[in-house]
Amino acid sequence: MDQRAVFSVNEVAKILGLSRNSAYEGVRRGEIPCIRVGKRLLIPRHAIEVMLSQYSDKASKPEN
């Protein structure tokens, strides 16, 4: 992943392997954390890393 602090929704869609529409829907639902700067939606790199680590943590834990 690029070392920039923030990404556009389109860039995050490519990183996550999602369509542009799915990424915007994820932002709208609050599934993809974002910040608004003027009219732009930006997704912090750290937020993506935390989000992905939470999912990988869930996947590695056995269910009871």
What's the pLDDT tens digit per position in 10-61?
A: 999 999 999 999 999 999 999 999 999 999 999 999 999 998 888 776 666 7
Number of domains in the chain: 1
Confidence of residue 63 (pLDDT cuts 50, 70, 90): low
In the numeric block, which tokens belong to residue 55?
């999912």
Q: Greater confidence, 17 or 1?
A: 17
Residue 1 within a domain: no
- The CA distance from 31 to 26, in Å, is 5
What is the helix, strand, coil percentage profile of the chain, to 5? 55, 15, 30
Residue 44 within a domain: yes
- Residue numbers of the domain that contains 37: 6-60
Residue 39 within a domain: yes
Residue 51 within a domain: yes
The reported pTM is: 0.78
Find out whether 42 and 8 touch, Cβ atoms under 8 Å.
yes
In the numeric block, which tokens belong to residue 41?
């939606």
CATH number of domain containing 46? 1.10.1660
Nearest one of 47, 39, 63, 38 to 7, comparing CA atoms: 47
